[in-house]
Amino acid sequence: MSELLNRRLALLGKREHLSLLEHCLHGIERECLRVTGEGRLAQTPHPEALGAALTHESITTDYSESLLEFITPALPNPADTLRSLDKIHRFAYSKLGNEYLWSPSMPCPLPAEEDIPIAYYGTSNIGQLKYVYRKGLALRYGKTMQCIAGIHYNFSLPEQLWPLLKETEGFVGTDRDYQSTAYIALIRNFRRYSWLLMYLFGASPALDAGFLRGRSHQLEVLDADTLYLPYATSLRMSDLGYQSNAQAGLTPCYNDLASYTDSLREAVATPYAPYVEVGTHKDGEWVQLNTNILQIENEYYSNIRPKRVTYTGERPIQALMARGIQYIEVRCLDINPFLPMGIDLPESRFLDAFLLYCALDDSPLFENNECGNATSNFLSVVKEGRRPGLQLQRRGQAVEMKEWAAELLEKIAPLAALLDQSQGISEHSLALDAQLAKIQDSSLTPSAQVLAAMQERKESFAQFSLRQSEVHAEYFRSEPLPADEQARFEELARTSLAQQAELEQNEVGDFDVFVGAYQASILAISN
């Protein structure tokens, strides 16, 4: 254990500081496709009974009209966060009629590209901006890729923690600078160790054969309708997922917040020749917001993002530059098709201990090939994480993945114990033990269990996924929300629809001018 981690653990373990760790915040975003009873992509509009995707704070759409996104508030106790997610699922199911929520990350058998509906947000300028942005994504990356779903885990450490650490460590600079520096250090460590999460929680070793649309690949045939890799943990996070030549040169290595925001600012302000060739309009219609490497910051696809809550009309980069990092968003988690919400409390408890370890352990700047090694370790584990004897690169030396994984868990154990101590529970340590069991026996990993379940029943990926979707639907439908909770959600839906209508009625100014101003807002800070 590093000297720095030892010191920080001792400080946070003191009686007067121990309760601090109860104030970490947890928020979850869960994406999932709406599908028909036959397990095909739903072609119906976003159900009005769920509210307006543009203005509802808990239920929206992501890329496609069929791709729902459920968003919890940020709460101190992850059990409450998951309860909040559970309620959103139960409410959604009360309005879905005969449709289902697709259980895994990789999509159901998809219709032709042109028949995948893009999410529509109405006629307001901001609604149109969201729609054109998605048209741009379709143009740049194809629609198929955008139908992949995942879980995003938002996590922050207590605001009171940073001044305490800053003072004891003699940091020169403002509290805000210290906090941002500490979060960037967390992100660097996350990049170093996130392969471990893919081994433990990756749950997409197989996919529907139609997904690749005839593209060349290295996958093996499981059956007539299913492709897989025998040792894969997460094909979702492999290079089968988001590929972009335009983004290839965009790998911020997170040595400080300024270099991160600079690289993104440059990307949203730099034209990319193939996109310039297409232009922003075709036949008088908008086809993308601009012709730059990224249309907006969120187009940058990464496993983890530094975040700050934005003000109305403010862009994410502006918020980070003005007020520093407030929390991080972990974006590489697969949906576990065996769990009704795709994630459960033990996974959340382990993530907390893992992220706390990343935050408090020593995190030297990336040097030489370390950034590239972090990427290749991650890709090795998503494609062949369960391969016996798999080796990764650590500080220029080959190391067996399982050996390194066991060492990491040993280092995370004191963090799990500290979280338990602060809350008077043992769940973090128990969650850690469950992960150690997966390292010792790869058949316990979700990816191995998915393949085992399909092989046992001789099911294709689509058959297995639909069956799981039906099981989860029954789970949510068999116990509807209490009447007061149902009424609360009904009211939220009505309010969101009224908010969208009001936006549309009171809209002033032309869309083209609106896009111009939006673009100018980034150029204004890119000097």
| pLDDT at res. 243 | 61
- H/E/C letters for each residue in 55-83? CCCCEEECCECCEEEEECCCECCHHHHHH
Could you read off the pLDDT of 324-371 as tens digits, one per residue? 999 999 999 999 999 999 999 999 999 999 999 999 999 999 987 888
pLDDT above 90 for 301: no
Mean pLDDT confidence for 95-100: 98
| pLDDT at res. 314 | 87
| pLDDT at res. 242 | 59
Quote the pTM value.
0.97
Distance of CA 313 to the CA centre of its chain: 23
| pLDDT at res. 369 | 84
- Distance between CA atoms of 305 and 300, rounded to whole angstroms? 10
| pLDDT at res. 141 | 92
* Residues 6 or more apart in contact with residue 17 via CB below 8 angstroms: 11, 164
Distance of CA 458 to the CA centre of its chain: 31
| pLDDT at res. 249 | 73
Question: Are the CB atoms for 89 and 101 separated by under 8 Å?
Answer: yes
**How many other C-beta atoms can be found within 10 angstroms of the C-beta atom of residue 482?**
11
Question: Are the CB atoms for 329 and 154 separated by under 8 Å?
Answer: yes
| pLDDT at res. 525 | 63
Structure tokens at 480: 């509807």
- Distance between CA atoms of 449 and 200, rounded to whole angstroms? 12
- Distance between CA atoms of 525 and 527, rounded to whole angstroms? 6
pLDDT above 90 for 411: yes
Question: Are the CB atoms for 205 and 228 separated by under 8 Å?
Answer: yes
pLDDT above 60 for 526: no
pLDDT band of residue 241 (cuts 50, 70, 90) is low
Mean pLDDT confidence for 289-311: 94
| pLDDT at res. 31 | 98
Mean pLDDT confidence for 308-314: 89
- Distance between CA atoms of 242 and 148, rounded to whole angstroms? 9
* Residues 6 or more apart in contact with residue 501 via CB below 8 angstroms: none
By mean pLDDT, which of 231-245, 375-389, 508-522 is the weakest? 231-245
By mean pLDDT, which of 177-191, 299-313, 394-408 is the weakest? 299-313
Mean pLDDT confidence for 465-475: 98
- H/E/C letters for each residue in 256-322? CHHHHHHHHHHHCCCECHHHHHHCCEECCEECCCCCECCCCHHHCCCCEEEECCCCCCCCHHHHHHH
**How many other C-beta atoms can be found within 10 angstroms of the C-beta atom of residue 111?**
14
Q: Quick one: CA torsion of 271, 275, 281, 282, rounded to 10 degrees?
A: 160
DSSP secondary structure letter of residue 96: -
Could you read off the pLDDT of 377-386 as tens digits, one per residue? 999 999 999 9
pLDDT above 50 for 426: yes
pLDDT band of residue 522 (cuts 50, 70, 90) is confident
Structure tokens at 373: 């090694």
Could you read off the pLDDT of 129-155 as tens digits, one per residue? 999 999 999 999 999 999 999 999 999
pLDDT above 90 for 519: no
Average pLDDT, the chain: 95
Could you read off the pLDDT of 193-237 as tens digits, one per residue? 999 999 999 999 999 999 998 888 999 999 999 999 999 999 999
| pLDDT at res. 527 | 45
Q: Which domains, and CATH codes, for the chain?
A: 3-523 (3.30.590.20)
| pLDDT at res. 313 | 80
Please state, in angstroms and as integers, the Cα–Cα distance from residue 331 to each residue in 149, 199, 267, 338, following that order: 10, 15, 20, 20
pLDDT above 70 for 397: yes
pLDDT band of residue 483 (cuts 50, 70, 90) is very high
